[in-house]
Amino acid sequence: MRLDLLPFRTAGAAENMAADFLLLKRAPADRARFRHYGWRSPAFTFGYSQQVAFVRTQLPPGVAIDLCRRATGGGLVDHREDWTYALVIPRGHALEEMGAPQSYRLVHEALAAALVAQGVPAVLKPVPVTAPEGGAPAGVCFQRAEVFDVCHATSGEKIAGAAQKRAKQGMLFQGSVWRPAAGPTVDWDRFGDDFAAGLAITLGAEATPAPWPEEIGEDALDALTQGYCAPEWLEFR
């Protein structure tokens, strides 16, 4: 199997979320796809099941924010200083057939290894032996680490989290690395290369640079982007 490494793209929040969803819905059966992407302006995304009223109480005041609901779950994510990626795994692959905690752990093991290679003491938050303690408001990413999130071994600060969505075509894994928590010495280009190489090993795939998929044309992307911009999508919960 191949792991297609798609080109870097910068877009608004709705377009980025639409692109990830189309990568899932039009995923080929013979390859996985991985992309790292950027944000055109200060952006936050929030989980599919979250209430937008709660989300708005958590946004920074006095800042114009590009806000969009994700198709995946998880909490509110601040993308202003993160390293954002998406991974699509086709239906029937061993990682796709695992339970969510196991697939989450394996992807984050590859991510943590890429950070450790640059001297960042990154570890996965273990399964607690007792009930978890209270902490930050529920639903806000990077304020509290959950099981198998990537954390800084010294400070305990959360470095990376992610959310998943499964469909008949496969699984979408949307992830975010909070760069300030990783520290100032990380070479992010090297991190991206090392992370992709680690994912290829995890998937048993050959990582290959690939162009943007022809089946995800601008017309389809524009149409879905408009849907992700609509108040009905933002407000429906």
51-68 confidence digits (pLDDT tens): 999 999 999 999 999 999
- Provide the mean pLDDT of the chain: 93
- Tens of pLDDT, residues 177-232: 999 999 999 999 999 999 999 999 999 999 999 999 999 999 999 999 999 999 99
Q: What is the pLDDT of residue 137?
A: 47
Whether the CB-CB separation of 177 and 166 falls below 8 Å is answered with no
The predicted model gives 89-117 an average pLDDT of: 95
**In this structure, which amino acid lies at residue 166?**
R
Quote the number of domains for the chain: 1
CATH number of the domain within which 137 lies:
3.30.930.10
What is the span of the domain harbouring residue 146? 2-235
Residue 170 confidence (pLDDT) above 70: yes
For residue 137, which of 59, 65, 61, 63 has the smallest C-alpha distance?
Answer: 59
d(CA 160, CA 178): 6
- Residue 235 vs residue 124, higher pLDDT: 124
Q: What is the pLDDT of residue 146?
A: 86
Whether the CB-CB separation of 216 and 22 falls below 8 Å is answered with yes
For residue 196, which of 216, 179, 217, 175 has the smallest C-alpha distance?
Answer: 175
The token duo for 152 is 């800084």
Three-state DSSP at 213 gives coil
Q: What is the pLDDT of residue 221?
A: 96
The token duo for 145 is 């680490």
| Tally: H helices and E strands in the chain | 8, 12
d(CA 38, CA 11): 7
What Cα–Cα distance (Å) separates residue 78 from each residue in 30, 53, 171?
A: 33, 17, 23
- What is the band of 142 on the pLDDT scale with cuts at 50, 70, 90? low
Q: What is the pLDDT of residue 123?
A: 97
DSSP assignments along 41-74, one per residue: SSEEEE-TT--HHHHHHHSPTT---EEEE-SS-S
